[in-house]
Amino acid sequence: MCTDRKSFSGSSVRSVACVCALLAAIHSLLASRWAKGLASRFAGPRRRNGLYRSIYNAQSVVLMVWATWWFSRLPDRELYRAPAPWSWLLRAGQVASLGVVLATVRASGMPSTGLPQLRCFLRRAEPEPEPEAQGPPPTTDREGMAAVGPFRFSRHPSNLASVALFSLFPRMTANRAALAAVVAIYAVLGAMHEEHRLMRMYGVAYERYRRSVPFLVPGLSRGTG
């Protein structure tokens, strides 16, 4: 176990965990029906439908960049450093995780990015609101869910990818481990909450899909969550 040049104390780990928990709370609050309803009352349905998702995603990126910068300034301690070729495999896993996120966005539809709504708003048309929950698209007859792309293997592939992305650093430090732990907890809790939204939206159709595809990790028991 190596110690970095900067003095390290457990307060850094606690700071990382607390800031991550705060950002997760902001993320959840802004994704809630209450926040969306409040935005609709203050800005009007058209502005809310056209701008909310884009602003939501933009603030998520800004907060993530700020948090990354702030974490890099904290004292830290190295826990392990994977040598080659294991470090290459871990980096490849992180790249694959980003690929899963992009594939999930493609499979679930662009409305989750907010770009179609923003484009519609700028064209002075009436944008449709984004889906209440992010998941696989329903089949054309709405009798089931289209298990396409990563949704064939996991009901919440982007949540799984986020856990892998933050857990596969070839050089793991105490602060990174705290970050990975909070991300993992939030990913599981977020996926469980998303399940309830999807069940409310699609009912029996989602229940059929739920019975055939694992909750988070491919190969594990189905129907969990």
pLDDT, tens digit, for every residue of 26-59?
999 999 999 999 999 999 999 999 999 999 999 9
CA atoms within 13 A on the CB side of 160: 20
pTM of the model: 0.85
| In the predicted structure, residue 106 carries a pLDDT above the cut 70 | yes
DSSP string, 9-60: -HHHHHHHHHHHHHHHHHHHHHHSHHHHHHHHHHH-HHHHHHHHHHHHHHHH
Owning domain of residue 58? 10-212
Cα–Cα distance for residue pair 44/51, rounded to 1 Å: 11
> Residue 2 domain-assigned?
no
Q: Which of 69, 153, 66 is nearest to 103 (CA)?
A: 153
> Residue 17 domain-assigned?
yes
- 107-150 pLDDT, tens digit each: 887 888 889 999 999 999 999 888 888 888 888 777 778 888 99
Q: Mapping DSSP to helix (H, G, I), strand (E, B) and coil, where does residue 126 land?
A: coil
> Residue 5 domain-assigned?
no
Phi, psi of 145 (to 5 degrees): -110, 140
> Residue 159 domain-assigned?
yes
> Residue 224 domain-assigned?
no
Pick the more confident residue, 81 or 136: 81
> Residue 221 domain-assigned?
no
- What is the β-pairing status of strands 78-81 and 171-173? antiparallel
Radius of gyration of the chain (CA): 19
Q: Give the number of domains in the chain.
A: 1
145 CB neighbour count, 10 Å cutoff: 23
> Residue 3 domain-assigned?
no
> Residue 72 domain-assigned?
yes
